[in-house]
Amino acid sequence: MKPVILWLALLPAASLALGGQAGPRGKLERGETAVHTFKNAPLNALGVSSLEDLRGMPVLVAYWGREPWADDWVDDAVVWKKQFGRDVAIVMAEMQAADLDTIESVILRKKWHGPDLIWTTEYPAFAGHSGVPQFSLLGNDGTLILDGSAGMMGMNFVGKRLQEIEDTIAEQVRLRREGPDGTPKKVAAAWKTFSEGDVAAALAAARALSASDDAAVAKAAGAASKEFARRLDRRLGRCEALLAEGRMVHLEEELEALEGQLDADEPLRARYAAVATAFEENEVEREAAAALAKVKRTIDKKGPKKSSLRALEKVVKKFPDTKSAARATHWITLASAR
């Protein structure tokens, strides 16, 4: 990643928890497991209600503020999310007493609405540093493995710190895709198959290997099988959340990726079938979501210009009483209030 210069607002973190925000609750130390249940649903949560829901992937909690000097930090987080995709979760925790509507208005203006970042005003996995920006990076198992200030103007370590964060995420992603270090070769092959998207083959291989006469292979395969099932449960939870929010374009992508992959697991297959059936039966929501997605692509590139707002109004008029119309109305309100 190209090094950038970041400012550090030298304000005590506690002083930033104003306006009824959920402030820090203690200090998480390196090696400790982060436990946090969100009091208010974050923006773009898609079924995530706690840090425990994100187990099995690295989680970067990036503390930020709405001042212009914080933009580079958010831009870096956006780049990391695009780079690592579904293999990392990034939680953007605002530290300057904003409410979620204000944050979403900033997201629209700054064109940060594209990647699947999670946005909150709470302080999950807070490591106790002062000022903005700062971060806490959790490993796949939810433990704090890296934390600190993201950078300080004039201290000449900004690029090094950003590279340290990126490298640490990359290592956790490697372990997420290949299995824990020391995984037997046969089981590691199942991990690789799963990470490449062939879920059915990976599940079958892990379950077969769990009956191996080799105790180490059987143990590793049993653990892999449980982890695969847990991740699939989370993916189906995301599908259900996308359906509930009427985000049919993203839902279609998820359904296509999982089609035919869950047939050997009846509970998972049944959940998939229920979502897929509801998706197929709701033609109006699908059309509305496609229309809104087209406008959103323009907003993501150019911000909420007048032409985009008029396009949002057309979505509302053409598809009344849909989830997409409600979302379009909300965006119009946010853009008009700035």
Q: pLDDT exceeding 90 applies to what percent of the chain? A: 72
Residue-wise pLDDT for 49-82, tens only, equals: 999 999 999 999 999 987 776 788 899 999 999 9
Token pair of 93 as six digits: 């925790």
> Residue 107 forms beta bridges with which residues?
none
Least confident of 146-155, 183-192, 248-257, 271-280: 146-155
Q: What distance in Å separates the CA atoms of residue 67 and residue 64, rounded to the nearest whole number?
A: 9
Q: pLDDT exceeding 70 applies to what percent of the chain? A: 88
What is the pLDDT, as a whole number, of residue 158?
66
Kindly write down the DSSP assignment for every residue of 245-293, as one continuous string. HT-HHHHHHHHHHHTTTSTT-HHHHHHHHHHHHHHHH-HHHHHHHHHHH
DSSP letter at 297?
A: H
- How much is the pTM? 0.87
Phi, psi of 19 (to 5 degrees): 65, 35
Kindly tell me if the per-residue pLDDT of 326 is higher than 60: yes
What is the pLDDT, as a whole number, of residue 255?
97
Kindly write down the DSSP assignment for every residue of 115-148, as one continuous string. S--EEESS-TT-----SBSEEEEE-TTSBEEEEE
Q: What distance in Å separates the CA atoms of residue 335 and residue 51, rounded to the nearest whole number?
A: 31
Q: What distance in Å separates the CA atoms of residue 246 and residue 336, rounded to the nearest whole number?
A: 23
Question: Would you call 139 exposed, middle or buried from its count of C-beta atoms within 10 A (0-12, 13-18, 19+)?
Answer: buried
Token pair of 294 as six digits: 């087209």
Mean pLDDT on 208-220: 96
Mean pLDDT on 316-329: 97
Q: Would you tell me how many other CB atoms lie within 10 Å of the CB of residue 278?
A: 15
Residue found under tokens 């279609």? 252
Residue-wise pLDDT for 85-121, tens only, equals: 999 999 999 998 889 999 999 888 888 876 689 999 9
Residue-wise pLDDT for 239-262, tens only, equals: 999 999 999 999 999 999 999 999
Kindly tell me if the per-residue pLDDT of 191 is higher than 80: yes
What is the pLDDT, as a whole number, of residue 260?
93
What is the pLDDT, as a whole number, of residue 71?
84
How high does pLDDT run on average in the chain?
88
- Angle, CA of 77, 172 and 57, to the nearest 5°: 75
Phi, psi of 202 (to 5 degrees): -65, -45
Residue 98 Ramachandran class (φ > 0 left, ψ -120 to 50 alpha, else beta): beta
Mean pLDDT on 117-145: 93
Kindly tell me if the per-residue pLDDT of 187 is higher than 60: yes
What is the pLDDT, as a whole number, of residue 270?
97
Which has the closest alpha carbon to 263: 255, 276, 273, 254?
273
DSSP letter at 34?
A: P
What is the pLDDT, as a whole number, of residue 330?
95
- Dihedral in degrees, nearest 10, Cα atoms 198, 199, 201, 202: 110
Residue 18 amino acid letter: L
Q: What distance in Å separates the CA atoms of residue 90 and residue 83, rounded to the nearest whole number?
A: 12
Residue found under tokens 């990036």? 62
Kindly tell me if the per-residue pLDDT of 20 is higher than 80: no
Provide the pLDDT confidence category of residue 26 given band limits of 50, 70 and 90: low
Q: Give 181's contacts (C-beta < 8 A, 6+ positions apart).
A: 175
Contact status, residue 16 vs residue 132, Cβ threshold 8 Å? yes
What is the pLDDT, as a whole number, of residue 149?
83
